[in-house]
A and B are shown apart, each in its own frame.
Chain A
Amino acid sequence: MVLAMHMSDGLVNPPTALAFGAIAVIGLAVASSRARRDLDDRTAPMAGLVTAFVFAVQMINFPILPGASGHLLGGAIVAMLVGPWVGSMCIAIVLVVQALLFADGGLTALGTSIVNMALVGVFVGYAVAFALRGLARRSRRGLIITAFVAGLVNVVVASLGFVLQYAIGGAGGADIGTVLTLMVGLHTLIGIGEGIITAATVGAIAASRPDLVYLLRRPGPPLDVRGRAVSGSTS
């Protein structure tokens, strides 16, 4: 059995890989500058642990259909626990460790993978959780529903990232409609698993340390939909 879970080299052509590599670098540069204000003596160790936790859980492939499995991406977990800027760095670090240390995910595919899971997945997960923050802050049950939905949607939209990349520069000439149907179908099933893991993780942490859940911590919205700081937000 070969455990591999991310894009290999050669699935998209070099110009596409390079273009998404550039988008990944720019996105992470912006994220690291924005991440500073979300990191302090308490949240920095939390962010390190959340990253290690996502690495661990990504190893656990769960069955979704006979002959097919899925695993956590983690975008909604990190977005809800440490915020989208720090969270996108968490997922990118996991992907780099997996590619460099475990030969999982091609080196030239790192850009496409980072865009799909660390940027698209995290920010979509955050957008869903942020839209439902009223529900999430009302009760534990509301938080769990929010986490489930954010987890599910983050996986499905991240899978669309691959479809877009394949449509732009995919190798092998597979029918794009078939790729789209299969990717969305399989990742809807995986998304149910992701939603359950996201709900269990965020729910458990909120039960013991709600102050360490980014989505619950701030009384006002820290960011608007375009990621700018909202005037009047604290700190």
Chain B
Amino acid sequence: MTSPTRDRRATGFFAGFLLVALLIAGGLSYLASGDPDGLDTVTLTGCELSADGEPVAGTCIAQNAGDHALADSPFADYAVGGGEGTVGLAGIVGVVVTLIVAGGIFWLLRSRRPTDEQ
């Protein structure tokens, strides 16, 4: 039912989609705001923050937050080995890993029977 021409078009579209994701994670990520997000803004309300954004005085929800169990892992906090300026590389790793995990799961789950909805 799917012609070779159509398959080529689909492959081209998928390649373009992946390229966009890689450019966003690998390049645009350098322009991301470093300010706390919506949830963190709420959990930090009531606290004074240190220069690196940790609550140092006052009372707020975030003071109850525990350290991450994997805080010492190689890509923790979207940096490679904790290095400055490595967010783009971490992002590219994340896109590739996410694609492999998600693509693998969805490929295994897919229905093999022919669809008749075209």
Please determine whether chains A and B interact with each other in the same assembly.
Answer: yes
Name A's B-contacting residues (CB within 8 A). Answer: 1-11, 32, 35-37, 39-49, 51-53, 55-57, 59-64, 67-71, 86, 89-90, 93-94, 97-104, 106-107, 159, 162, 166, 170-172, 174, 178-179, 182-183, 186-187, 189-190, 205, 208-209, 212, 217-218, 234-235
Contact B110 A41 (CB under 8 A): yes
| Alpha-carbon separation in the docked complex, A70 to B25 (Å) | 16
Task: Name B's interface SS.
Answer: helix
Minimum CB–CB distance from A73 to chain B (whole Å) comes to 10
Q: State A2–B71 Cα separation when bound (angstroms).
A: 11
A-B contact count (CB 8 A): 247
Interface residues contributed by chain B, number (CB under 8 Å): 70
Kindly state the separation between the CA atoms of A41 and B105 in the bound complex, as whole angstroms.
13
Q: Which of A59, A106, A162 has the most chain B CB atoms inside 10 A of its CB?
A: A59
**16 additional A-B residue pairs with CB within 8 Å, beyond A46-B14, A59-B94, A182-B42:** A8-B66, A11-B62, A39-B106, A53-B17, A55-B95, A56-B24, A57-B21, A63-B33, A67-B36, A69-B34, A69-B37, A71-B37, A97-B98, A99-B70, A103-B77, A172-B64
Q: With A and B bound together, what is the CA distance between A66 and B98 in angstroms?
A: 32
| Minimal Cβ-Cβ distance residue in B for A68 | B41
In the complex, are the beta carbons of B64 and A35 less than 8 A apart?
Answer: no
